[in-house]
């Protein structure tokens, strides 16, 4: 960065770019591929969070709250168009910010958020009219209506792996439902949130509807504890998510948590091995393994273990590790040097407990010296008690585990505190379906991975993988409160039950 002006990522409050009133500290932002600084963030404190929540409350009680559902849907499509106009310049910025590879970034880091904004806008019909049903079980008659109303101000926390994507996952359903939002994104990847704020200005969304406060623990704790926040939506690690839930409980706030996973890929004895291996390697290695739904435990039948391990070794060894901007790179860097060190310690702990490194390990090849690289790694000869089989590593590390009999395979698949996603690979689709429905997980694929339909398929984790749902009808309605409204449609006083407390009334 010598000779270049350091980029400053400002917070976005009430429609304006602002610097913290009293900065908690300065956080560096680097390019994971090279380690070079690309900018810095001034951390917000409680006063900045207070200002953001106040702005969100004014917008909720003011112009945003008066818009119809259709008007809010149009605002989402306008937001998508504003982002789309910056597509070409945003792609290289996101590559440098996230470490997502040049082949991966345009589709999932940049393109998908725009598509999903429009997908959420298309769900407006779910909120346009109350659900009504007549009641005639009493001598009188009337009608019940179920109205979906916004919760209020949403405090939304987004992770570093898909920064713009995850902002959309929070903002789009929250806004469509009529809420306003204070976003606290990961300080590691500020480019996506900044792009969203610029699109907010271009799309003409009223000030205060979307606010962004940058920072780490201080800002996050202030946002969760603020009495003006009505709902907390958090995506991130289980360790932090459980602390968020405990803090939110003190204010009786509603929570939506999408947390970690250790998802299995259960290969049935009749599986198409090439398909299963390619799909599992894609799932566990895409974006350097930094995806909560990655299937990082490959459960392999004993009778085909050697065959599958040999093919996994061939396919994984052929992956090219390198800088994200190089179009030939298959696997890019992890997000930070701290993440790299943590992963190396986990791999060492796994081998100390008996795992063998089949592919990967220490050899990095020709990569930039300052980058945060972890070689695509496959571990074999381990059981499900090994740390590599139990802990979410969030890196390009795949554990291959042997099972003897499908019942044992199902038991191993479910032997985890998590329950986020799973894949089942098998030619007999009836049998594969039976097995899939016995695996604990909110998102389950048969003979594929990474498929998602934001408008129709919610993501709902089990166990330590989360609370509530994201996406789909369930995810949209999670940002609403239901009002039950009854209207009597007759005036027959004698038909009412009032007499039970007024028997002597004339």
Query: Dihedral (C-alpha) 457, 462, 467, 468: value to the nearest 10 degrees?
Result: 30
Residues 116, 292, 357: CA angle, nearest 5 degrees: 140
Strands (DSSP E) contained in 241-388 are: 254-258, 263-267, 295-301, 356-359, 377-380
Tell me, what DSSP letter sits at residue 205?
A: P
Asked if 177 and 150 count as a contact pair (C-beta separation under 8 A), the reply is: yes
Distance in Å from the first CA to the final CA of the chain: 89
- According to DSSP, the residues that pair with 480 across neighbouring strands are 150
Rounded to whole angstroms, how far apart are CA atoms 130 and 318?
A: 55
Rounded to whole angstroms, how far apart are CA atoms 384 and 59?
A: 50
Residue 292 is a catalytic residue? yes
Asked if 313 and 358 count as a contact pair (C-beta separation under 8 A), the reply is: yes
Residue 105 is a catalytic residue? no
The catalytically annotated residue of 194, 258, 392, 470 is: 258
Report which of 31, 33, 39, 30 is spatially closest to residue 326, judged by C-alpha positions.
33
The tokens of 383 are what? 């059981």
Q: Look at the alpha carbons of 149, 150, 151, 157 in this order and tell me if their dihedral is positive or negative.
A: positive
The tokens of 247 are what? 């803090």
Report which of 291, 290, 265 is spatially closest to residue 280, judged by C-alpha positions.
265
The tokens of 194 are what? 């900044």
Asked if 183 and 211 count as a contact pair (C-beta separation under 8 A), the reply is: yes
Report which of 40, 171, 31 is spatially closest to residue 100, judged by C-alpha positions.
31
Long-range CB contact pairs, 88-94, < 8 A, 24+: 90/191, 90/195, 92/325, 93/191, 93/195, 94/163, 94/164, 94/191, 94/192
Complete DSSP assignment for 44-66:
P-HHHHHHHHHHHHHHHHTTGGG
The catalytically annotated residue of 44, 105, 167, 292 is: 292
Rg (C-alpha) for the chain, rounded Å, is: 25
Asked if 268 and 236 count as a contact pair (C-beta separation under 8 A), the reply is: no
* Residues catalogued as catalytic: 258, 292
């Amino acid at each position: 960065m010598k000779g270049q002006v350091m980029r400053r990522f400002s917070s976005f409050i009430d429609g304006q770019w602002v610097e913290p009133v009293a900065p908690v500290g300065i956080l560096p932002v680097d390019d994971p591929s090279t380690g070079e600084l690309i900018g810095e963030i001034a951390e917000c404190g409680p006063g900045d969070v207070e200002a953001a929540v106040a702005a969100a409350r004014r917008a909720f009680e003011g112009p945003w709250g008066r818009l119809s559902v259709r008007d809010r849907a149009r605002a989402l499509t306008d937001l998508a168009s504003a982002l789309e106009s910056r597509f070409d310049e945003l792609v290289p910025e996101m590559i440098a910010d996230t470490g997502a590879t040049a082949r991966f970034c345009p589709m999932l880091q940049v393109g998908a958020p725009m598509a999903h904004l429009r997908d959420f806008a298309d769900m407006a019909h779910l909120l346009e009219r109350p659900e009504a049903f007549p009641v005639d079980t009493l001598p009188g008659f009337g009608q019940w209506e179920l109205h979906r109303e916004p919760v209020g101000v949403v405090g939304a926390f987004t992770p570093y792996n898909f920064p713009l994507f995850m902002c959309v996952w929070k903002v789009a359903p929250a806004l469509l439902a009529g809420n306003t939002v204070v976003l606290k994104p990961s300080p590691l990847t500020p480019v996506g949130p900044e792009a969203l704020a610029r699109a907010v200005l271009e799309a003409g969304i009223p000030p205060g509807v979307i606010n962004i406060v940058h920072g780490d623990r201080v800002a996050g704790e202030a946002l969760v504890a603020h009495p003006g926040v009505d709902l907390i939506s958090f995506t991130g690690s289980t360790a932090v998510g459980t602390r968020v839930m405990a803090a939110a409980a003190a204010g009786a706030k509603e929570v939506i948590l999408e947390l970690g996973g250790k998802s299995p890929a259960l290969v049935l004895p009749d599986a198409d091995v090439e398909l299963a291996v390619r799909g599992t390697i894609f799932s566990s290695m895409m974006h350097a393994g930094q995806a909560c739904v990655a299937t990082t435990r490959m459960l392999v039948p004993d009778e085909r273990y050697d065959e599958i391990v040999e093919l996994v070794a061939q396919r994984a060894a052929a992956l090219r590790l390198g800088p994200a901007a190089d179009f030939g790179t298959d696997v890019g860097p992890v997000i930070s040097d701290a993440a790299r060190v943590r992963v190396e310690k986990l791999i060492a702990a796994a081998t100390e407990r008996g795992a063998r490194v089949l592919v990967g390990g220490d050899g990095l090849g020709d990569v930039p010296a300052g980058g945060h690289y972890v070689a695509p790694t496959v571990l074999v000869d381990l059981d499900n008690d090994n740390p590599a089989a139990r802990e979410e590593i969030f890196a390009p590390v795949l554990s291959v585990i042997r099972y003897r009999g499908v019942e044992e395979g199902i038991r191993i698949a479910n032997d985890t505190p998590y329950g986020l996603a799973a894949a089942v690979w098998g030619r007999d689709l009836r049998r594969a379906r039976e097995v899939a429905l016995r695996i604990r997980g909110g998102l389950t694929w048969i003979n594929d991975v990474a498929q998602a339909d934001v408008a129709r398929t919610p993501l709902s984790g089990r166990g330590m993988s989360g609370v509530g749902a994201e996406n789909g009808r369930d995810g949209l309605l999670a940002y609403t409160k239901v009002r039950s409204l009854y209207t009597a449609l007759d005036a027959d006083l004698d038909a009412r039950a009032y007499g039970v407390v007024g028997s002597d009334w004339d």
